[in-house]
Structure 1
Amino acid sequence: MRRFCTSGPVDRKTCYYVERPELMEEAIDHIENWRYFTVSAPRQTGKTTFLNDIVEKTKDKYLPIFISFESYDIENKQQFLKVFTEDIIEDINYRHNIDLELKIPTITDEIKDLIKEIHMKTGKEIILMIDEFERFKNSKIINDFLHAIRSIYHKKELHRLRSVILISVGYLSGILEDNASPFNIAEHMEVPYFTKEQVYDLLIQHEKETGQIFEEEVKELIWHNGGGQPGLTNALAYDLVVKKAKNEKIVTKSHFDKTLYDFLKKYINKNIENVISKAKNEKDLIMQILFEPDKIEFDISDERIKYLYLNGVIDECNGYCCVKVPLYYKKLYNHFKPQVNGEKTYMATIKDTIRPYIKDDGSLDLNKLLKRYIKYIKQRGAVMFKGRNYYEGVYQYNLDQFLSLYIEAAEGKVYPETQVGGGRIDLLINFNNKEYLIEVKVDITGNEYEKAKKQLIEYIKRNDLNEGWLIVYSSSIEDFEYILEKYEDKKLHIWFIKTNFESPSKVQ
């Protein structure tokens, strides 16, 4: 019985596996046409699995050799040539069951003789694949190596080196620009995240093999929260079937809610921890990207943006920087949220409970709870908001913390940045099996205000709800205000929250 693979590379004999036919076709086309090219992808995106697939699909016709520079902590050229040759011998034996004795080059230029010798002894043209290429930091040796490859490239049919594939976490342009004319930037390939169809394909494989079924909503939630990131997608599915819904016939949303909670609050996941670790190195920028969406233009020439992108933290969304994987966003949000825990005693006193905000039918009286929130802001606004840049997240997180304090006391949940209706809502409340959508805006223009209302109405319609909430924090308004607008049979509750306080308010 196969399973969801949570660490790579994926063995299709023991793990569910997703085909990438278009990507594979492009790679094979490059090889057939004697192209030397580069491949990149952030870690845990299935890059090595894809490259192992290239080996399997080409080994009958050619001699693919797949080595890695990951542990090449090498100081001199002779040592490099020795280790390089030994790795090639080992891989040929491992993948092709051919035991070769090869002469170790004494100078880098003799690599072409090494390639000729391999061809003579095997009778096959060679595909040389080098993973973790950027990890080898000795620039002098790398430069000499790339010059040798360039020399071979100009007579590739003579040397029978059909293709060279350099693989890395990110672009290799800085390493290659002076030394590697064979590696045309137009023939650089990126291994993308799974598409929605590929995520569903993965889940359906499990259903067919085990008979255990994912509810349709659960499939959507796995796709949306994992964002197609292969490592996370498999990890979420694995946790569901092995831990939360073990021996159950159907994997339900209730199971998924428990899995999501554990990933957000309990588990130490290597993918997520790596993203947080990299984000810490560019804290100011990631804070802006998290809490000031659609403001930071995506420009790969900015070294900070390039660093976060190549490490899988951010991506490009309509020309702007974004955190495309929702689960990453939620973890980063929790990690970088402003530290306002000291406000808890002001948000709810010993007399405050959730009971007054629950209607007779068990639903949440969110407007009444927001009135309590405004009372708190009038008391604490000057302390909390004065001098703050809103990209620090102080507004959204302040509201999140306030709502969570009351709602979680009654077993409800408040989720930040949740996928709904083809987009993301800033806050989603789940209370007694009913959802409440809240969009948060700060100091917006009139056009942005109208756009926000229209967008929220669309979310309400697509989620078959009757109402939604738009919270507008503004430094230009004189006082707090509530507006109720109706769109056909849908209600839009709009709350304007004043943020411009000259001194601490005395209002009780």
Structure 2
Amino acid sequence: MDASRPERRYRRRFFTTAGPVKPARHYCVPPLDRLDLDDVLALVGDEKYFVLHAPRQTGKTSALLALRDRLNADGYRCVYVNIEVAQTAREDVGRAMRTVLGRLASQARMTLGDEFLDGVFRDLLARYAPDEVLLEALTRWAGADETPLVLLIDEIDMLIGDSLLAVLRQLRTGYHQRPRGFPQSVVLCGVRDVRDYRIHSGSANAIIAGGSAFNVKAASLRLGDFSRDEVLALLGQHTAETGQAFTAEALELVWEQTLGQPWLVNALADDACFRDKAGRDRSRAIDAEALRAAQERLILRRATHLDQLADKLREDRVRRVIEPLLSGAEARTFTDRDLEYIRDLGLLARDRPVRIANPIYAEVVPRELTWVVQEEFDQETAWYVDTDGGLNVAALVAAFQTFFREHSEHWSKRFQYQEAWPQLLLQAFLQRVVNSGGRIEREYGLGRGRTDLLIVWPRDPRGSERGPRDGPSHAGGGTARRVDKIVIECKLLHGSLERTIAEGLEQTAAYMDRCAAQEGHLVIIDRDAEGRSWDEKVFRHRKTSRQGVVIDVWGM
């Protein structure tokens, strides 16, 4: 940094959800603390080439920039470069190499004051083929100074086809010349491990494995989510600097809903503390309701991070995994490669059992798949709200039963996720009504054989006069209201109706007990179009579980 330029002083810090963290500007977990720094420094010192990967918006770039500064302080020549801009070159290798070398030259000049590449790369592009120009440039650059050269290459997986192969193969070819005649260490950073790349080579008309094109990789490191302690420490920075506290319940809720996913943690806190007007009053503690309201706003805004994940749901390899989770099916139709891909995206937890990575993503998935459907329903919340502000769930389920009988054949054809369409249709119908004053919590998963829904409904003294978007109060208190909890369990009919009902009653009663719900409904859907008539399928019975819990059972 130019010593003649005064260091910029910021008025306050805040939670960031865009771009690398700047500790002077943003609350943050120190980026190097998120790496196993001893291992990373050992790999660099041992002249290794390795991979750092993690889902999008988890802090990879922040970690690389901090590592660059640490290595330069330790006596290396370290340059960080983001090569995403070369993606538009697609399989035009010459254009891609010009872009990559241009970015390297620019970053070397800005970071190190090193103008060597700037002075030679245009001449090299004229003299050498695209398949070797990067190799020659790095050879000359490494040899121009005795200080070991280290490259941190971000967004490597943004390159396409032959352009990606050209970079990987030239790095592999020069590997044996390190450290005097090639970079001592190279870190490739992206969403996926290079070994999992399946690169379509247009020139060879073949699929090339990334592990084959870059078989000099010594290690693959994955940047994980925040730990519980890191989440608490991050939120604690806001309290320390502003005096605004988070209630104990709010702190626990942030962890429970995000499980440490960095973007989600920052987005919830930013919305509750800075975007929400009530939350800007630093004398008011941020409570659990403020954070629940923030979560709902994030989902309704379709924030970019969530929208990018939702867009992946349209891919067949994603559908093959997510569909049986939503339907609760036992059968596994996906491959291990499908599973690894979705885990790399961050949509699934890394460990077993197979499940959505965190409760917020689990909420986003069915809502995204039913977003358009939900808006088309001619249903109003006021139709189901009693004069005392309670939600008449029995009337709501009865309305769905009628709707399902009359329109299910038409709606079934509109869902991409055909195996899960009944569960998705029910959730869309409920969401259309409940969204205006309460919330729905969901539990679903592979092999569960059911979808558990919990409606949480704060009673409003205005009753049916509440507005279409009036939600629960938030940001630090207000008058406490009675909160109703109602369970709806959805099961598909398999085999005997009596056995399905008996099993469902016990499951519904157990879920009601766990959630402290006051009311329970069991919905049995018969998908057999050739079997029983609609008059046989449609029924409503009041049953009592073995635990003595009264549950309404609905057939359709």
| Aligned residue in 2 for 1:505 | none
**Does 1:57 find its partner at 2:70?**
yes
Choose the corresponding residue for 2:364, options 331, 335, 354. 331
CA contact (8 A) 1:133 1:168 kept: yes
**Counterpart Cα distance in 1 of 2:331 and 2:350:** 10
Q: Which residue among 239, 247, 250 is the counterpart of 2:281?
A: 247
Offset at 1:442? Answer: 0.9
Residue 469 (str. 1) matches residue 469 (str. 2) = no
**2-structure distance, mates of 1:53, 1:451:** 53
Q: Give the distance between the partners of 1:340 and 1:85, measured in 2 at CA.
A: 49
Q: 2:27 aligns with which of 16, 25, 40?
A: 16
2:465 is matched with none
Does 2:103 match 1:103?
no
SS at 2:120 equivalent: coil
- Residue 89 of structure 1 corresponds to 105
Number of residue pairs the alignment of both structures matches:
470
Q: 1:441 to 1:66 in 2, by over 3 A?
A: same
2:462 is matched with none
Cα distance in 2, alignment partners of residues 82 and 399 from structure 1: 51
Do the aligned partners of residues 86 and 343 (structure 1) sit closer, same or farther apart at CA in structure 2, a change above 3 Å counting? closer
**Alignment check: 8 A CA contact 1:290 1:329 kept:** no
| Cα drift, residue 246 of structure 1 | 0.3
**CA deviation after TM superposition for structure 1 residue 164, in Å:** 1.2
Match of 1:436 among 474, 485, 488: 485
Residues 396, 300 of structure 1: CA spacing in aligned structure 2 closer, same or farther, 3 A cutoff?
A: closer
1:212-291 alignment, distance < 5 Å: 212-244=244-276, 245-249=279-283, 250-265=285-300, 267-282=301-316, 285=320, 288-289=323-324, 291=326
Match of 1:355 in 2: 386
1:90-169 matched pairs, under 5 angstroms? 90-100=106-116, 103-104=120-121, 105=124, 106-107=127-128, 109=132, 111=134, 114-139=137-162, 141-159=163-181, 161-169=183-191
CA distance in 1, matches of 2:157, 2:36: 22
Q: For residue 85 of structure 2, what is the amino acid of its counterpart?
A: S
Q: CA deviation at 1:15?
A: 0.9
- Relative to 1, partners in 2 of residues 1:40 and 1:374: Cα closer, same or farther, differing over 3 Å? closer
* Aligned partner of residue 43 in structure 1, secondary structure: coil
AA aligned opposite 1:220: E
- Confirm or deny: 8 A CA contact 1:456 1:468 kept in the other structure: no
Query: How far apart in 2 are the matches of 1:155 and 1:121?
Result: 14
Q: What residue number does 1:383 align with?
A: 406
SS of alignment partner, residue 165 of structure 1: strand
Deviation at 1:458, TM superposition (A): 6.9
State the shift of 1:296 in Å. Answer: 6.6
Residues 94-123 of structure 1, C-alpha deviations (whole Å, 9 max, x = no match) = 223344355334435565554454345443
The secondary structure found in structure 2 opposite 1:213 is coil
Q: What are the residue-to-residue correspondences of 1:13-52 with 2, within 5 Å?
A: 13-19=24-30, 20-52=33-65
Shift in Å, 1:231: 1.9
Q: Distance in 2 between matches of 1:287 and 1:169?
A: 20
SS of 2:554's partner is: strand
Q: Distance in 2 between matches of 1:143 and 1:354?
A: 61
Length-normalised TM-score, structure 2: 0.71
Partner of 2:454: 427
Partners of 1:161 and 1:68 in 2: CA distance: 17
Give percent identity, aligned residues only: 15
Cα drift, residue 12 of structure 1: 1.6
Provide closer, same or farther for how the CA distance between residues 443 and 81 of structure 1 changes in structure 2, counting only shifts above 3 A. closer
Q: Is the contact made by 1:39 and 1:168 (CA closer than 8 Å) also made in structure 2?
A: yes
The separation in 2 between residues aligned to 1:415 and 1:30, in whole angstroms, is 47
The superposition leaves residues 235-282 of structure 1 with CA deviations (integer Å, 9 ceiling, x where unpaired) of 2211111122002321123322432332233x2411122122232344
1-structure distance, mates of 2:172, 2:378: 64
C-alpha change, 1:159 and 1:493, in structure 2 (3 Å) is farther
The 8 Å contact of residues 484 and 517 in structure 2, kept in 1 or not, is answered as no
CA displacement, residues 298-342 of structure 1 (integer Å, 9 cap, x when unaligned):
956555x6665544444556343x432433333332232283777
Within a 5 Å distance, the mapping from 1:304-315 to structure 2 comes to: 308-315=342-349
What is the deviation of 1:219? 2.2
Deviations 1:457-491 (A, max 9, x none): 47745x6x36563524153997543333475xxx7
CA distance in 2, matches of 1:459, 1:25: 48
Matched, 1:417 2:442: yes
RMSD (Å) for aligned C-alpha atoms = 3.9
Give, as a single letter, the amino acid of the residue that structure 2 aligns with 1:260: Q
Whole-angstrom distance in 2 between the partners of 1:237 and 1:213? 12
Are 1:398 and 2:426 an aligned pair?
Answer: yes
- The reply on whether 1:197 has 2:229 as its aligned counterpart is yes
SS of the residue 2:214 aligns to: coil
Q: Secondary structure at the match of 2:170?
A: helix
Paired with 1:403 and 1:10, the residues of 2 have a C-alpha distance of 36
d(CA) in 2 for partners of 1:286 and 1:223?
25
Structure 1: tracts of 5 or more residues without a match: 500-508
208-217 vs 392-401, greater mean Cα deviation = 392-401
Say if 2:238 and 2:244, in contact at 8 Å, map to a contact too: yes
Secondary structure of the structure 2 residue equivalent to 1:34: coil
Q: CA distance change for structure 1 residues 88 and 22 in 2, over 3 Å: closer, same or farther?
A: closer
Contact 1:66 1:130 in 2 (8 A): yes
Q: Render the CA deviation track for 1:67-115: whole Å, top value 9, x for unaligned.
A: 1221124476665555444432322222233443553344355655544
Which whole-Å CA distance do the structure 1 matches of 2:156 and 2:223 have between them? 16
Cα pair distance change 1:58/1:293, threshold 3 Å = farther
Q: Quick one: distance in 2 between partners of 1:165 and 1:400? A: 45
Deviation for aligned residue 1:203: 0.7
- SS for the counterpart of 1:274 is helix
